[in-house]
Chains A and B, each alone.
Chain A
């Protein structure tokens, strides 16, 4: 027996009793009596989500979203809106790239909206890891594609949505500092529509593999 605010490896913060569990990410405080202001997330709920992020998500994504394995994306400093949309996409099994199916469909299956919001807030608040280093020529070519697109192939500039410095904006994800291998895999998944995003399919469908490699190397090298 133990308290419901325990430290188990359950992913949801919105376990019983729901009336006292607080929505950390959305900064909605339901319960009074803890001396918190209404715009602060409950400390216990925040601590629980932090523990989930470090001890569960962190096995693959790194304790602060600073994954060292290129198979798993870096989440530190990622746009919270984007993270929420992805976690909901995993939960709804609408994001269909191979690693999403193998790993995240299961991991996200029991997440409630409050936990998703809190996890997204946790990662958005983490300091992005130092950028990786790519080959100079490849990075230069990637910079060109990122900034100007590949007009001859009808590929628009990435920066027009993801921001000039690739740090994301609105619902568009941060790409700066992301593992090149992960970016490359996502571009391939957009191209094949396994990850079925119409806009990105349009962008990626005419990208050649060497272009993808270049833009991925450029992004990994960005702070």
Chain B
């Protein structure tokens, strides 16, 4: 769905704001104790503290989530062919987040047009999110991490991050290894092995009841769960990783206007990929002593029909918008007995060729750029108490249609007076884990710039710091 909701922004500002906040502000949670049950190993084998993966966790994932130390139900043919191998325990898990969110300054109450009324301060998410997982081996060489989530913003249950894998491994001379596999997934980078890429990057959870900036790169979540991708990868000696594949639209909750069936997509759907669009990834990890260091590059190239909505359809024809993302990432981990430290960083550069949007006036420029930088440092003591500090920055072309100003009489907040997407700030987070599958998080987000300015960014008096957000969340997984 909304992918680049801001490309359609001029159609319906209110809808855009709702979509942006619902879809961009709630990274999905991953903490899956069914993996621990399957392997018989404690969380610490695969995670520093969930969801950040250790080297072992990365190898487990690359090998298709299939390492199992459970008893099996088997079937074999008379020709000694194995027909069935089922774990005696299904790899099911649940995860839940209960949250409290408050912003520094209340947002205007839309129902109180023209008056100074404001929405209630303080939002309880009970739950903010509740997820069911199938996470583990399906059959030899086949595994899955599939997530079904109730999201309080939508009030519905829907498919969340899903990664189905085939993988195998061969021995190379001199005790080398080559893992090769396929991932069928619904979110670019959800299949990645490092936490420096968007899908499993910091923040691992965020409020779904806060104001979020207008601009986000295509690879950073707008297409999550609305695309399906098949990628193939090679992982050499658990250090050099190469992956390539393609994504195609696989939108949820849309129906074909003519048949009423779940497809094919037509002009009543928005942000539809033109066909199969490429994704690529290259990374190298060096492990020594208690340290690991990874550097990599990744990207995608999405061509998108803006499409329309059931009430305002627009055929999937003619010019397209193209989002070409090229990103670098780095991850460092120190995993000691008592002290754990990690640094995650990524820099995403997006080139937009907005032929379709420019033709309709939905963008002011035929092409734009957007650059996102994030750098986070995390420390934990004995995996029980820790915290993270992250710096984030988004800069990009000024585009008064893509990042529109507040319409006369409108309340602002999710607009940009100067048409700039520039946003900058810090996230600090404190975590306490009474048990390794229970996390209490106190998170504060500071904005020094929001949608183009620090002061009066929306032209009707709201400052970037008014969107500073306190977020408290109890997160458990079982």
* Chain A contact residues, CB within 8 Å of chain B: 1-4, 6-11, 16-17, 50-51, 54-56, 58-60, 63-64, 68-71, 101-103, 105-107, 109-110, 181, 185
Contact = CB atoms under 8 A, between A and B. Distances in A.
Contacts of B170: 7
Q: Which 4 A-B pairs have the closest CB atoms?
A: A106-B40, A63-B175, A102-B42, A8-B140
B42 A1 contact: no
B39 interface: yes
A69 B288 CA distance: 6
Interface string B51-81: 0000110010001001111110010110011
Contacts, number: 92
A110 B69 CA distance: 6
Given A3-B82, A4-B76, 7 more contacts: A1-B81, A4-B82, A6-B140, A9-B63, A16-B76, A63-B176, A102-B44
Contacts of A10: 68, 140
A12 B71 CA distance: 11
Contacts of B175: 54, 58, 63-64
B176 A69 contact: no
A110 B71 contact: yes
B66 A9 contact: yes
A11 B69 contact: yes
B290 A107 contact: no
Contact of A105 (B40, B44, B77, B288): B40
Contacts of A109: 40, 69
A180 B176 CA distance: 26
B109 interface: no
B112 interface: no
A17 B177 CA distance: 28
Contacts of A11: 69
Contacts of B337: 71, 181, 185
5 contacts: A3-B80, A55-B63, A63-B176, A107-B41, A107-B69
B141 A8 contact: yes
A109 to B, nearest CB: 5
Taking each of B74, B168, B175, B335, which has the highest tally of chain A beta carbons within 10 Å of its own beta carbon?
Answer: B175
Contacts of A59: 55-56, 59, 238
Contact of A55 (B70, B83, B177, B290): B177
A103 B238 CA distance: 19
Interface in B141-174: 141, 168-171
B19 to A, nearest CB: 42
A101 B81 contact: no
Nearest to B83: A1
Nearest to A126: B175
Contacts of A69: 287, 289-290
A8 B81 contact: no
Nearest to B39: A106
A51 B171 contact: yes
Interface in B255-306: 287-290
B460 interface: no
Contacts of A7: 168-170
Contact residue range for chain B?
35 or more
B45 interface: yes
B289 A70 contact: yes
A103 B46 CA distance: 10
A54 B177 contact: yes
Nearest to A8: B140
A181 B289 CA distance: 10
A63 B76 contact: no
A102 B41 contact: yes
Contact of A71 (B42, B67, B168, B290): B290
A184 B161 CA distance: 42
Contacts of A103: 41-42, 45
B80 A4 contact: yes
Contacts of A17: 80
A171 B287 CA distance: 32
A69 B289 CA distance: 4
A10 B59 CA distance: 15
B4 to A, nearest CB: 40
B66 A68 contact: no
B69 A2 contact: no
A63 B171 CA distance: 10
Contacts of B171: 50-51, 54-55
Given A58-B175, A102-B41, A2 B82 contact: yes
B39 A107 contact: yes
B446 to A, nearest CB: 37
A196 B165 CA distance: 41
A2 B81 contact: yes
A107 B82 CA distance: 23
Contacts of B335: 71
A213 to B, nearest CB: 14
A1 B44 contact: no
A56 B67 contact: yes
A48 to B, nearest CB: 11
A3 B81 CA distance: 5
Taking each of A50, A51, A70, A103, which has the highest tally of chain B beta carbons within 10 Å of its own beta carbon?
Answer: A103
A8 B68 CA distance: 10
Contacts of B81: 1-4
A55 B69 contact: no
A152 to B, nearest CB: 30
Nearest to A104: B41
Interface in B77-105: 77, 80-83
